[in-house]
Amino acid sequence: MHHHNPTHQQSFAKSRRLIAPLLSALCLASAPIAVNASGGDPFIKAKPFAENMEPVRQHPEQLAAAEKKLAELEERTGKKPNILIFLVDDMGWGDPGAFGGGLAVGAATPNIDRLAEQGLKLTSTYSQPTCTPTRAAMMTGRLPARTGLTRPTLTGEAARVNPWDNEETAASLLSDAGYVTALSGKWHLGVGDGSQPQQVGYDEYFGILSVVSEFTQGLDDHKYPELIRNPERMAALKQLSTSAVTAGKKGELAKVITDLDSLDKVAEIDQQFADFSEDFIDRAAKSDKPFYLVHSFSRVHNDNFSASEFKGKSLARTPYKDAVVEVDDIVGRLIHKLEEKGIADNTLVFFTSDNGANEDAWPDAGFHPWRAAYLGH
């Protein structure tokens, strides 16, 4: 998708199409399903709506209902709704209490459960097989085969083509529509110049450009001795990969904030992300603009090392379950921040995981009832 300097009105129309799941979530969950009484084809046919986009099965009644709710919300609050997306890394479907996990599997999730109880459970969607394509689909609204972001970039791998040269993110469209935008936490959609989040539509970025296992593999002597005890391999790793929390403003190249040169530092990065997100919400609430914030956890992707505040806090008292409790606590912190600022009623909040539990990392992984599984990245 190429940029054509759209007007705010055109851009917001495009943003509505790109973030269709957000609009659909506003529709009445109890709305009856229309049946073709005449005995014709009961299936909704997919229709193309743009030359460079996949055909979609359109639901005009639901879209009209969603836009009516959005209009009423804006009239009442004087602002378009804020959007907060919680994106967890590799959480199992059966980890949250709302889906049968919680205390039953060793880690209570009261804040996540509260979102499920007070909102809608959106249980039917297609997931991609690994982190990068899932995130690409969410950021662009397009199949990963279209963007080329079909798998994670490997350590030290240099992309021959930057897919972001021809793609547009939801953040970019919403920014054009008057939103302030930020990504907090894991990106995993490119580390090079021109492919970082603050270079593809986000006003602000604070987090990690790759994945937490990229850092722990050079630090955990117990799990990765054949790498860490080999000076030549360690020298190559350090040359190919930068282990750091980084940050940047729109258009800039990200700068190192924290060198992740110890497991203790890696264990605390989600607390850094939470601090940034709280600060962003504070600043955005004072603005006359709505905000779009993707809070993207490094948790609970392997390898999990408990943050000091959460060590042994889960009922199971294992690093993975402590990480689930930490995720839930951060969800509670940011929801409380919305309530504290008086903007919770004008914020669309979504909670999802990019993939299910990573079974090949067990026991550093969660639960799900499925026969098949996500096996690493």
Say how many CA atoms lie within 13 Å of 31 toward its Cβ: 15
Strongest mean pLDDT among 58-67, 109-118, 134-143:
109-118
pLDDT given at position 39: 56
- Residue of 55 and 65 predicted with greater confidence: 65
Identify the residue with better confidence: 273 or 41.
273
User: What angle, rounded to 10 degrees, do the helices at 110-118 and 319-340 form?
Assistant: 50
Kind of pairing between the strands at 56-57 and 82-88 = unpaired
Residue 233 has φ and ψ, to the nearest 5°, of: -65, -40
Is residue 42 pLDDT above 80, yes or no? no
**Mean pLDDT of the chain, nearest integer:** 88
Paired sense of beta strands 347-353 and 82-88, if any: parallel
**Cα 246 → chain centroid:** 17
Mean local confidence (pLDDT), 228-235: 96
CA–CA separation, 356 vs 375, rounded Å?
9
| 336 flagged as catalytic | no
Cβ contact 164:256 at 8 Å:
no
Going by pLDDT thresholds of 50, 70 and 90, the confidence category of residue 375 is low
Check: CB of residue 336 under 8 Å from CB of residue 329. Answer: no
| Among 4, 8, 188, 368, the one annotated catalytic | 188
What percentage of the chain exceeds 70 in pLDDT? 89
pLDDT in tens, 136-158: 999 998 889 988 999 988 877 87
For the ranges 50-54, 133-137, 149-153, which has the lowest average pLDDT?
A: 50-54
**N- to C-terminal Cα separation, the chain:** 27
Q: How far apart are CA 190 and CA 159, in angstroms?
A: 8
Q: What is the reported pLDDT for 259? A: 97
* Tokens 């956890």 belong to residue: 297
Among 12-26, 36-50, 144-158, 333-347, name the one with the lowest average pLDDT.
12-26
Q: Tell me the average pLDDT across 65-76.
A: 93
276, 206 Cβ separation under 8 angstroms = yes
Q: Which of 27, 131, 301, 368 is catalytic?
A: 131
For the question of residue 188 being annotated catalytic, the response is yes
pLDDT band at 377 (very low <50, low <70, confident <90, very high): low
Instruction: Give CA–CA dist 268/221, Å, rounded.
Output: 19
Architecture field, domain 80-361: 3-Layer(aba) Sandwich (3.40)
The reported pLDDT for the residue numbered 187 is 97
- pLDDT classification of 169: cutoffs 50, 70, 90: very high
Is 50 exceeded by the pLDDT of residue 126?
A: yes
| pLDDT tens sequence across 296-339 | 999 999 999 999 999 999 999 999 999 999 999 999 999 999 99
pLDDT for the residue numbered 40 = 63
Q: Which residue has the higher pLDDT, 265 or 375?
A: 265
Whether the pLDDT of residue 17 is over 70: the answer is no
Residue 21 has pLDDT above 50, yes or no: no
